[in-house]
Chain A
Amino acid sequence: MRAWEVIVGIETHAQLATRSKMFSGASTAFGAAPNSNASAVDIALPGVLPVPNRAAVEHAVRFGLAVNGAINRRSVFARKNYFYPDLPKGYQISQYELPIVQGGEITIVMGDEERMIRLTRAHLEEDAGKSLHQDFHGMTGIDFNRAGTPLLEIVSEPELRGAREAVAYARALHALVTWIGICDGNMQEGSFRCDANVSVRRPGEALGIRCEIKNLNSFRFMERAIDYEARRQIELLEEGGKVAQETRLYDPERDETRSMRTKEDAQDYRYFPDPDLLPLEVSASLLSGILEALPELPGTRRERFMREYRLPAYDAGVLTASRAAADYFEALVKASAVDAKLCANWQAGELNAALNRDAIEMRDSRIEPGSLAVLLKRIADGSVSNKMAKEVFDAMWAGEGGADEIIERRGLRQMSDGAEIEKIVGEVLAANAKQVQDYRAGKEKAFHSLVGQVMKATRGKANPAQVHEILKSKLA
């Protein structure tokens, strides 16, 4: 039996980080009292008209340039018509035939392999309001605060092979949109939402019938939902069944997808160019201005880290997972002037672990790059051992002060005075005649025991390399 191939395409709605809405001046702030951020335009009173938000357009262009897509110098807003209580106009203003961004690519790293995932398009649109079905005594309440919030819908080609690649893509996209500052990336608040189109096929065959999975509001759920859905489709096909094209909802509680609506219920959205809005023109000067101001992008920076700091691909990837992380790393290297690999190890190791443990963002780190640099300098010049440095780090994280201060206060300075170590080694050898005998009889283990005794006698402060050297010469 030949294996199955799982093919995934991802549609992402990234809420653009603008102060006001896509077509009105109302605030986009999250968490305001219901309907307090809903203007006459947002609730579609008779006579109101949409005016495009320049900042949202600039964000879309910024994205297009960052993914190396084509910016349509003239794109067209279209109306997507359907009735729903939280859609105030009875249509959503979106882009249909001529989106602002066409094509482009996102690089994902799977182990050591880099893959280029092609984008179909990215277009501007407005969000709908929210229907609230609880607390209204069997009725439905509507909050129009979200209505009109600017979104960039980013559509990938169906070329992700399975759940892990899909998640890698979503993570890379998430890192990019936050990196270039067009989206705050907050998935809990719905600022970054993904739907997955999942189909399965035998290798070499045409694409299978796809199902669209909605409600994937975390990377973890996305992976589980795609895995579940692929399994469901494969089982169906192997039993001789057929996949029906439909929209399915992921239920994280039960870890399964359920049918929401079938293709037969699919609406005719009657798209047509919005006559209230002129075609959206992107001028050459706007384009070049945004291009010039574009920051160094994650992929470029990752490659530079590998080249400039001689870091392995994995480290470079971790350190460029976000712009804040990459900035932190470069500040750390500069301030410490120690080996970049040491910096990488500490940032990717201790620092990231502490951030994760306490759920703190890099930009809010309790240890600034300058402070961590002092500790790394002490490691490099032999003042503290690597082991001791971890204790110092924890104390720094707990807010007990700077590295030097903690080393002094706790007496953690490494003993590197040869004469002193030699004296202690002499005492240890005298007190452990049995181990000395064992070692000379060829028991290598005895040597480690002796090292341990010396370290114990110095309360761990002796430089282990020096201890090794002196012991070897004495026992020779």
Chain B
Amino acid sequence: MINAVINATLTELSGALAAKQISSVELTKSYLERIRRLNGPLNAFISVDEDYSLARARLVDAARRKGEAGPLAGIPLAYKDIFCTRELRTTCGSRMLAEYKSPYDAHVVEQFERAGAVALGKCNMDEFAMGSSNESSYFGPARNPWDRRRVPGGSSGGSAAAVAARMAPAATGTDTGGSIRQPAAMTGVCGLKPTYGAVSRYGIVAFASSLDQAGPMAKSAADLALMMNVMAGFDPRDSTSVERPKEDYSGSLNLELSGLRIGLPKEYFGEGIEPGVLQAVEEAVRWFASQGAKTVPIELPNARLGVPVYYVIAPAEASSNLSRFDGVRYGHRAKEYADLADMYARTRAEGFGTEVKQRILVGTYVLSHGYYDAYYLQAQKVRRLIAADFAAAFERCDLILGPTAPSTAFEIGANTGDPVKMYLNDIFTIPAPLAGLPALSVPCGFDAAGLPVGLQLTGKHFCEAALLGAAHRYQQATDWHLRVPKEAPL
């Protein structure tokens, strides 16, 4: 029974809860137990408060007895530690906010609470979401449940590891340059980065405001859809939130694949991709073709410029967004300092880790007088070219398919000395956020070492439903997403 529960999808759990086959308290307890057992080796959670989670589960159970049950009533959920929560501290993986407690809940958290979800805890992440391996966390790296010597990807590495290891049935993540999709791919789970503006950013600690987008991470595309029904929607507190009718993502999962035009960018099937990754993705392409989908060769000639463009724009915005961490009002402040400038310098030198400092320096540089035009403005121009490439491609296809990352999970420490090599891991995930497009990653096989491979689908603006539908159909025919990591057995 417990094993079945632990491996069940949100849809199944919702059913069991509604049928009163299991209570939220029982369900929450079994996940908390698993967290207690696995978090030591995997370090997927930064904060867990069992008493709070159980109290909340009791409340939801009581409400259900009175006939009140939201769409996710009683479902345990983990939040990336970038979402502000009143009950648990919000560290953002940084010493700067190691003890920070938000006086308010993020919009996404509010939505899940209203839907009846039960928070299990806050997940590990790269510091301020800057990283692709979860190694920049002040709280130590999270580990990949498929091989603990390896990274789970990042920055939402803790969320991905938690879902993969069945420490939570689902989790929230945020994606700026691939931070949901790349860790999802590396841990064999599903993750969706919605269209920019689909999910409110209110209450999410900002990294790069023009790119940041929250999204769901879960075991199946159907579960992503359930979460999107709760997460997505207009929020007047976020000026970039788009006002549009509420969508039922679960209602359109049975997408007709026959005649679907799938674009295959030649740039996403070229050099630098591990053979194991390429093989698994090509196998998926063949499956879609066998279902009547039409593959269309397309080109995204400027996509290769995505990484350099991203590493100008994201640090530029981050350098400004992170200025508020000055030790004046909250967060870390140096104990001793000579004057105001010294207080700032010491506070920020102590509070931020190396990766964050590097990006603040780069961002400050590219916005500086005399360099702004050559770097920041130029990057914005190329960003528009990349968006134009996608627009042209979507004239000829309905969605774009390729690998999520060029490699499977690498070993902890393997890329830390080489930032460029690390950054290139995001080569396929960076273009979609630059163009504001939705993209998801679903498991599509394993490499020779037994590590999961992710398949990425990118869609037109606000065409999440089509992505989820295509992924759902694929998952009905495959079981990659149901495999349990060997280092986190049921």
A residues contacting B by CB (< 8 A) are 40, 43-52, 79, 81, 83, 85, 88-91, 142, 268, 270-272, 274-278
Q: Which residues of A contact B320 (CB under 8 A)?
A: 79, 81, 90-91, 270, 272
Q: Which residues of A contact B106 (CB under 8 A)?
A: 47
Q: Given A79-B320, A275-B210, is A45 in contact with B330 using a C-beta cutoff of 8 Å?
A: yes
26 contacts across the A-B interface (CB closer than 8 A)? A43-B329, A44-B329, A45-B103, A45-B104, A45-B329, A46-B97, A46-B100, A46-B205, A46-B206, A47-B90, A47-B102, A47-B203, A47-B206, A49-B239, A51-B239, A83-B323, A85-B328, A90-B323, A90-B324, A270-B319, A270-B320, A270-B364, A272-B367, A272-B372, A274-B209, A276-B209
A88 to B328, CA, bound (A): 8
Name which of A83, A270, A274, A278 has the most chain B CB atoms within 10 A of its CB. Answer: A270
In the complex formed, the residue of A with least CB distance to B368 is A268
- In the A-B complex, the 8 residue pairs with the smallest Cβ-Cβ separation, listed nearest first, are A90-B323, A275-B210, A275-B209, A270-B367, A47-B203, A46-B205, A44-B324, A47-B84
A110 to B318, CA, bound (A): 51
In the complex formed, the residue of A with least CB distance to B317 is A275
Q: Which residues of A contact B103 (CB under 8 A)?
A: 40, 45
Q: Mark B225-240, 1 if CB is under 8 A from A, else 0.
A: 0000000000011111
The reply on B369 being an interface residue by CB < 8 A is yes
The reply on B19 being an interface residue by CB < 8 A is no
Q: Which residues of B contact A52 (CB under 8 A)?
A: 239
Q: Are A85 and B316 in contact (CB under 8 A)?
A: no
A48 to B92, CA, bound (A): 15
Knowing that A43-B329, A46-B100, A46-B206 are A-B contacts, what are 8 other residue pairs whose CB atoms are under 8 Å apart, sorted by A's residue number?
A47-B84, A49-B201, A81-B323, A90-B322, A90-B326, A268-B369, A272-B316, A276-B206
Name which of A48, A49, A51 has the most chain B CB atoms within 10 A of its CB. Answer: A49
**A86 → chain B, closest Cβ, in Å?**
9
Contact of B205 among A47, A50, A142 (CB under 8 A): A47
A45 to B331, CA, bound (A): 10
The reply on B202 being an interface residue by CB < 8 A is yes
Contact of B367 among A47, A50, A81, A142 (CB under 8 A): A81
In the complex formed, the residue of A with least CB distance to B340 is A85
Q: Which residues of B contact A81 (CB under 8 A)?
A: 319-320, 323, 367
The reply on B376 being an interface residue by CB < 8 A is yes
A-B interface contact total, Cβ < 8 Å: 96
The reply on B440 being an interface residue by CB < 8 A is no
Q: Which residues of B contact A91 (CB under 8 A)?
A: 320, 323
Q: Mark B188-201, 1 if CB is under 8 A from A, else 0.
A: 00000000000001
Q: Which residues of A contact B201 (CB under 8 A)?
A: 47, 49
The reply on B77 being an interface residue by CB < 8 A is no
Q: Which residues of A contact B319 (CB under 8 A)?
A: 81, 270
A81 to B322, CA, bound (A): 11
In the complex formed, the residue of A with least CB distance to B201 is A49
The reply on B204 being an interface residue by CB < 8 A is yes
Q: Are A46 and B102 in contact (CB under 8 A)?
A: yes
B residues contacting A by CB (< 8 A) are 83-84, 90, 92, 97, 100, 102-104, 106, 201-206, 208-210, 236-240, 316-317, 319-320, 322-324, 326, 328-330, 340, 344, 364, 367-369, 372, 376
Name which of A46, A47, A83, A272 has the most chain B CB atoms within 10 A of its CB. Answer: A46
Q: Are B329 and A88 in contact (CB under 8 A)?
A: yes
A408 to B185, CA, bound (A): 99
**B380 → chain A, closest Cβ, in Å?**
9
Q: Given A40-B104, A276-B209, is A48 in contact with B202 using a C-beta cutoff of 8 Å?
A: yes
Contact of A275 among B104, B202, B208 (CB under 8 A): B208
Q: Are A89 and B323 in contact (CB under 8 A)?
A: yes
Contact of A47 among B204, B322, B328 (CB under 8 A): B204
B interface secondary structure, majority? loop
Q: Are B237 and A49 in contact (CB under 8 A)?
A: yes
Contact of A277 among B104, B239, B326 (CB under 8 A): B239
Q: Which residues of A contact B239 (CB under 8 A)?
A: 49-52, 276-278
Q: Which residues of B contact A49 (CB under 8 A)?
A: 201-202, 237-239
A203 to B240, CA, bound (A): 52
**B285 → chain A, closest Cβ, in Å?**
36
A45 to B209, CA, bound (A): 15
Q: Which residues of B contact A50 (CB under 8 A)?
A: 239
Q: Which residues of A contact B205 (CB under 8 A)?
A: 46-47
A272 to B371, CA, bound (A): 12
A275 to B379, CA, bound (A): 14
A50 to B320, CA, bound (A): 14
Q: Which residues of B contact A142 (CB under 8 A)?
A: 328
In the complex formed, the residue of B with least CB distance to A41 is B237
A272 to B316, CA, bound (A): 9
Q: Are A83 and B97 in contact (CB under 8 A)?
A: no
Q: Which residues of B contact A46 (CB under 8 A)?
A: 84, 90, 92, 97, 100, 102, 205-206, 324
Q: Are A45 and B367 in contact (CB under 8 A)?
A: no
In the complex formed, the residue of B with least CB distance to A267 is B369
Q: Are A88 and B324 in contact (CB under 8 A)?
A: yes
**A171 → chain B, closest Cβ, in Å?**
36
In the complex formed, the residue of A with least CB distance to B369 is A268
**B434 → chain A, closest Cβ, in Å?**
13
Q: Which residues of B contact A48 (CB under 8 A)?
A: 202-203
A51 to B208, CA, bound (A): 18
**A140 → chain B, closest Cβ, in Å?**
8
Q: Which residues of A contact B367 (CB under 8 A)?
A: 81, 270-272
Q: Which residues of B contact A44 (CB under 8 A)?
A: 324, 329
**B486 → chain A, closest Cβ, in Å?**
37
Name which of B104, B201, B340, B367 has the most chain A CB atoms within 10 A of its CB. Answer: B367
Q: Which residues of A contact B238 (CB under 8 A)?
A: 49, 51
A43 to B330, CA, bound (A): 10
**A15 → chain B, closest Cβ, in Å?**
23
Q: Which residues of B contact A268 (CB under 8 A)?
A: 368-369
A51 to B239, CA, bound (A): 6
In the complex formed, the residue of B with least CB distance to A269 is B369
A47 to B206, CA, bound (A): 6
A49 to B201, CA, bound (A): 8
**A395 → chain B, closest Cβ, in Å?**
58
Q: Which residues of A contact B368 (CB under 8 A)?
A: 268, 270
Q: Are A83 and B326 in contact (CB under 8 A)?
A: yes
In the complex formed, the residue of A with least CB distance to B238 is A49
In the complex formed, the residue of A with least CB distance to B235 is A49
Contact of B240 among A83, A272, A278 (CB under 8 A): A278
Q: Which residues of A contact B203 (CB under 8 A)?
A: 47-48
A272 to B208, CA, bound (A): 13
Q: Which residues of B contact A47 (CB under 8 A)?
A: 83-84, 90, 102, 106, 201-206
A332 to B90, CA, bound (A): 65
A90 to B324, CA, bound (A): 5
Name which of B90, B97, B210, B324 has the most chain A CB atoms within 10 A of its CB. Answer: B324
In the complex formed, the residue of A with least CB distance to B100 is A46
A278 to B196, CA, bound (A): 12
Q: Which residues of B contact A40 (CB under 8 A)?
A: 103-104
**A218 → chain B, closest Cβ, in Å?**
30
A45 to B202, CA, bound (A): 11
Q: Which residues of B contact A270 (CB under 8 A)?
A: 319-320, 364, 367-369, 372
In the complex formed, the residue of B with least CB distance to A277 is B239
A46 to B99, CA, bound (A): 13
In the complex formed, the residue of B with least CB distance to A51 is B239
A277 to B240, CA, bound (A): 7
A46 to B329, CA, bound (A): 11
Q: Which residues of A contact B324 (CB under 8 A)?
A: 44, 46, 88-90
A81 to B204, CA, bound (A): 21
In the complex formed, the residue of A with least CB distance to B104 is A40
A277 to B201, CA, bound (A): 12
Q: Are B330 and A272 in contact (CB under 8 A)?
A: no
Q: Which residues of A contact B323 (CB under 8 A)?
A: 81, 83, 89-91
A83 to B83, CA, bound (A): 26
In the complex formed, the residue of A with least CB distance to B341 is A83
**B467 → chain A, closest Cβ, in Å?**
25
**A435 → chain B, closest Cβ, in Å?**
85
